[in-house]
Amino acid sequence: MGTDLRQLLPRDKSDFGNARALVALGYPAVAPVLKDLLAWLQDGNWPISRLVGDFLLTIPDAIAPLVREVLAGDDLQWKYWCIVRLIGQMPPTVATQFRDELTRLAESPTAAERLDELDAVARDALFSLGFGLSD
């Protein structure tokens, strides 16, 4: 392919043109820039966030390792949106790998995680995936 994928990355939170162009290429063509696309879920209120999130949900196995990196990081808002927009809507067969972290967030969040409501969204994700909480 002659197109440089990096040039197609959205330039700002309202760049639907580039976001749609990348989504139209599909997977695996966009594999080299998946991490860059996932970055557009750092704030679920950004206009292109839903478009990008909906696309990423079509390739849950491919994005799962990148979501795991987000969960291991310190960006609580990004974690929040990955749980809400991705993990909670993934097929349970893929989302099961996040069960332990979701359970920890739901049952034993840090003060900062609680303040950012990660415990609530983790609980919601666990239930929507049919996992429930441990007793």
Q: Where exactly are the structural domains of the chain?
A: 5-128
Cβ atoms 133, 107 nearer than 8 A: yes
Please write the tens of the pLDDT for every residue from 36-53. 999 999 999 999 999 999
Q: In terms of CATH architecture, what is 5-128?
A: Alpha Horseshoe (1.25)
How confident is the model at residue 47, as a pLDDT?
A: 98
How confident is the model at residue 3, as a pLDDT?
A: 63
DSSP code per residue over the chain: --S-HHHHS-SSTT-HHHHHHHHHH-TTTTGGGHHHHHGGGSSTTSTTHHHHHHHHTT-HHHHHHHHHHHHHSS-HHHHHHHHHHTGGGS-HHHHGGGHHHHHHHHHS--HHHHHTTHHHHHHHHHHHTT-----
pTM comes to 0.94
How confident is the model at residue 107, as a pLDDT?
A: 97
Cα 32–Cα 125–Cα 79 angle in degrees, nearest 5: 45
Low pLDDT (below 70) residues in the chain: 1-3, 134-135
How confident is the model at residue 2, as a pLDDT?
A: 45
